[in-house]
Structure 1
């Protein structure tokens, strides 16, 4: 359906306000900028800003609706026979190659992270967005699988998949914030992503199992401790 002139102007106005707000947030920090200042810089009224954005936090997270839908888009676009985990593996590796914003790997992600981390309100808002993404993916999985209401499978799968992508991105962004160049980060991130999705595909299984040698050594150490404790008591008895 073709976009009408009115809809196009509203979309452009919304985007202009969001872009101006982000510029102010980047320059001065989220908590140091008021909605009134955003409105003044965008040459609109405060009421107009709130017509497009319900809260100040929404000005920052202006792509939140797209962000919530992205995991569902990955599911919609998966190939016949492709599992959810494999679809997200493919999508995440592509985002590494293209530095796409959908997984927070784009240029400027370190600046974005600094602004968020400096504002408790934004930390809370981004957590809400993550929860919304997870619940939307859970509902989609449950619908596709026709899962019973008390089946925890879809919720566990959604949580594991999205927490994996979130942790991978946090790893990359942390290195960006530290000043490392993408050319150094990307190969390591790809390696970590492959390992992470291997874990998801195979299940944790024996991951973290105690090596037999370590267990035997620990057993011997415990036995030695018991012997020393016994000798100590024996000497106390002789006294």
Structure 2
């Protein structure tokens, strides 16, 4: 009799799929409530009721209420460092980050700031989320510093590494906010992408004399 050698892994796959579905369900209901009534005024209990799960289920999947609203934060924190680590042969960190930003803008990537007007307004109207977002920018810059340090065989606290990470991180922070501001002004994504791509070129050009040959792969 034939034996199905894939069957032991099948239940585990189903469990993971179910967990992901539950996570997305909770996140979707939370976002809807945050947009409708504001982040600060929405409770975990309300989110649990809307998603038809226990309050403990919500907190098991999301340790903080902020995590429900900013559910791309891991990808956001890692984005610049990942670009530097994966830069092409002969490509500097600056060149890789320029290229990656242009690609993100063309794709209207939420991680780059293309969130839609309702979501952007939710963040802008919430002191808690605004502070959290600033913290995520700081964490992203620190992750970038670690990637740059590895690229040039230095320590993350090296002054040159810190300066390079600060300059590159600041440009990305400004561009992210620019995308948010244009989104709040109800500009369509295509127009926003065109505007910030042109502005990014000018911003990155300012860094070229200092960082054009820094951390070349």
Q: TM-score normalized by structure 2?
A: 0.85
Give runs of aligned pairs for residues 3-152 of structure 1, distance below 5 A.
4-106=13-115, 108=116, 110-148=117-155, 150-152=157-159
Q: Distance in 1 between matches of 2:179 and 2:131?
A: 21
1:198 pairs, out of 187, 201, 205, with 205
Question: Do residues 154 (structure 1) and 154 (structure 2) align?
Answer: no
Residue 146 of structure 2 contacts residue 155 of structure 2 at CA under 8 Å; is this kept in 1? no
CA distance in structure 2 between the partners assigned to 1:158 and 1:75 by the alignment = 11
The number of residue pairs the alignment matches comes to 202
Distance 1:81 1:180, change over 3 A: same
Q: Radius of gyration: which is bigger?
A: 1
Query: Which residue does the alignment assign to 1:186?
Result: 193
Instruction: Classify 1:167/1:149 alpha carbon distance in 2 versus 1 (closer, same or farther; 3 Å).
Output: closer
Matched, 1:169 2:169: no
CA-to-partner distance for each residue in 1:122-166, whole Å, 9 max, x for gaps?
A: 111111111111111111211232214652122221221121122
CA contact (8 A) 1:95 1:105 kept: no
Deviation at 1:17, TM superposition (A): 0.6
Residue 81 of structure 1: how far off its partner (Å): 1.2
Q: CA deviation at 1:117?
A: 1.6
Structure 1: 5+ residue stretches without partners:
205-239
Provide the C-alpha distance between the structure 1 equivalents of 2:68 and 2:179, rounded to a whole number of angstroms. 25
1:216 is matched with none
8 Å CA contact 2:77–2:136 kept in 1: the answer is: yes
Distance in 2 (alpha carbons) for counterparts of 1:92 and 1:200: 15
CA distance in 2, matches of 1:149, 1:203: 19
CA contact (8 A) 2:30 2:68 kept: yes
The RMSD of aligned alpha carbons is 2.1
Task: Flag the 1:181–1:150 CA change in 2: closer, same or farther, 3 A.
Answer: closer
Shift of 1:13: 1.1
Q: Which of the pair has the greater relative contact order for Cα pairs under 8 Å at 6+ separation? A: 2
1:72-109 CA distance string (max 9 Å, x none): 22123211011111111001111222211221135x1x
Distance across 2 between alignment mates of 1:68 and 1:149:
16
Mapped contact 1:116–1:122 kept (Cα < 8 A): yes
